[in-house]
């Protein structure tokens, strides 16, 4: 197994052969991937070296210190946090070699075609159909709340392939070409005035069977890999002390002493402590990830992330008073990523409302934590064994 010394040597060799100041950004990122320094815990030839995951931080720090560019992980978060782990676990060797390199370098953006107008929290009720036609599948349906679909080249897609099976068993997982015929992406305006989300209409979209991940009808199991990684990527991402939303609120408190009151101070202190506890729990979660796949703990991290963001942004608006209601960016923008810290308090307050929906609603995540972490009895599910076609919709 590759150890720290070998990684240090590879970093030095990469920097010597491709000096960051003299190498184009994309060329450097490609070279880094090929050197196995993208995801050091991934297999050789797929951006890694089969090294312990815990060594990635040292590699990232050494390259950053040398002035090397990163792959803008916030812009390609769906690909990095959701598509890549699923491709690694279920894709063929040919698909992994085709997709992982441009995914990691950011040359190809990914999106997630899971939720539907009638299947959001109850994702297994999805109605988008995929019918086999020789070596291809013909897909028809509608997806909704699809972040970055307007910028995406590829999508991970869930579709129903057997309506006679119970809803969790008749689903198959595919990789969909977002530039292919029959894919129609339309913007959804949200409370911020922007359209980072989309609805996607699929009409006669043809997907080769070679782009199927996992067995036919086994898509729900494959999707669990995606969903667990999604929740970790949303709620368990690394931030420094006083980073993220709590950092913006604390900075405002320090810079604007005329706004302070005793009541707001007490609430700020309580939220600061909770944010720090969540940050440390996220560090522990990443240590657990280094030893294996994410579990239900990621759901708890995502729950905490959503609640804290909403409470912190609400307190910031209260602290600023009338000034906190200002929001001068009601433009019809199509952003590729969400910027929580570089915008006004009014934007953060509005955008944080979506945190309890995206990546799994807080209500569903509470059930997951209750059942899989606390061991409480599962809620009754009367439709568990009913064929999907017989369910009321």
* pLDDT tens readout for residues 99-109: 999 999 999 99
Give the pLDDT of residue 97.
Answer: 97
Q: What is the pLDDT of residue 208?
A: 98
**Minimal CA–CA distance to 67: which of 21, 10, 3?**
21
Q: Which residue's entry shows tokens 């560090």?
A: 283
Q: What is the pLDDT, as a whole number, of residue 288?
A: 67
Tell me if the domain spanning 223-373 has CATH number 3.40.309.10. no
Give CA–CA dist 345/319, Å, rounded. 10
Q: How is the chain split into domains, by residue range?
A: 4-70, 110-217, 223-373
> In this predicted model, what pLDDT tens digit does every residue of 300-324 receive, in sequence order?
888 888 999 999 999 999 999 999 9
pLDDT of residue 331: 63
| CATH, domain range 110-217 | 2.40.110.10
Residues 6 or more apart in contact with residue 338 via CB below 8 angstroms = 74, 196, 351
Residues 6 or more apart in contact with residue 332 via CB below 8 angstroms: 189, 193, 194, 195
Which of 108, 116, 196, 230 is labelled catalytic?
230
Q: Give yes or no: 230 in active site.
A: yes
- At residue 257, the pLDDT reads 93
Q: What is the pLDDT of residue 305?
A: 87
Token output for 216: 């036919």
pLDDT confidence of residue 197: 86
Which residues of the chain fall below pLDDT 70?
1, 229-238, 287-297, 328-333, 336-337
pTM for the model stands at 0.86
């Amino acid at each position: 197994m590759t150890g720290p010394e070998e990684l240090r040597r590879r970093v030095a060799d990469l920097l010597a052969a491709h000096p960051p100041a003299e190498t184009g950004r994309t060329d450097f990122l490609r070279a880094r991937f090929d050197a196995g320094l993208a995801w050091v815990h991934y297999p050789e030839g797929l951006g890694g070296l089969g090294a312990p995951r815990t060594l990635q931080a040292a590699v990232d720090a050494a390259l950053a210190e040398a002035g090397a560019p990163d792959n803008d992980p916030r812009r390609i978060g769906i690909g990095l946090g959701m598509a890549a782990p699923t491709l690694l676990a279920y894709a063929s060797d040919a698909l992994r070699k085709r997709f992982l390199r441009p995914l990691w370098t950011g040359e190809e953006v990914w999106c997630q075609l899971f939720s539907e107008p009638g299947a959001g929290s109850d994702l297994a009720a999805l109605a988008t159909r995929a019918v086999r036609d020789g070596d291809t599948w013909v897909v028809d349906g509608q997806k909704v709340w699809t972040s970055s679909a307007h910028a995406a080249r590829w999508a991970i897609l869930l579709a129903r392939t057997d309506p006679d099976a119970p809803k969790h068993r008749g689903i198959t997982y595919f990789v969909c070409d977002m530039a292919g015929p029959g894919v129609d992406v339309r913007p959804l305006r949200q409370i911020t005035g922007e359209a980072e989300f989309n609805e996607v209409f699929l009409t006669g979209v043809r997907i080769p069977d070679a782009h199927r991940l996992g067995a036919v009808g086994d898509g729900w199991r494959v999707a669990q890999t995606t969903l667990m990684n999604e929740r970790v990527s949303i709620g368990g991402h690394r931030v420094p002390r006083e980073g993220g939303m709590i950092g913006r609120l604390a900075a405002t408190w320090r810079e604007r002493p005329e706004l302070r009151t005793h009541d707001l101070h007490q609430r700020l202190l309580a939220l600061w402590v909770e944010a720090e506890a969540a940050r440390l729990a996220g560090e522990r979660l990443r240590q657990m990830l280094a030893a294996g796949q994410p579990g239900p703990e990621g759901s708890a991290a995502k729950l905490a992330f959503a609640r804290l963001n909403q409470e912190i942004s609400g307190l910031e608006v209260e602290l600023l008073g009338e000034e906190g209601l200002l929001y001068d960016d009601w433009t019809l923008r199509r952003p590729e990523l969400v910027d929580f810290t570089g915008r006004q308090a009014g934007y953060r307050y509005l955008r944080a409302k979506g945190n309890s929906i995206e990546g799994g609603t807080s209500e569903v995540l509470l059930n997951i934590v209750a059942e899989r972490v606390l061991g409480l009895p599962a809620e009754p599910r009367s439709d568990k064994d009913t064929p999907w076609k017989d369910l009321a919709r």
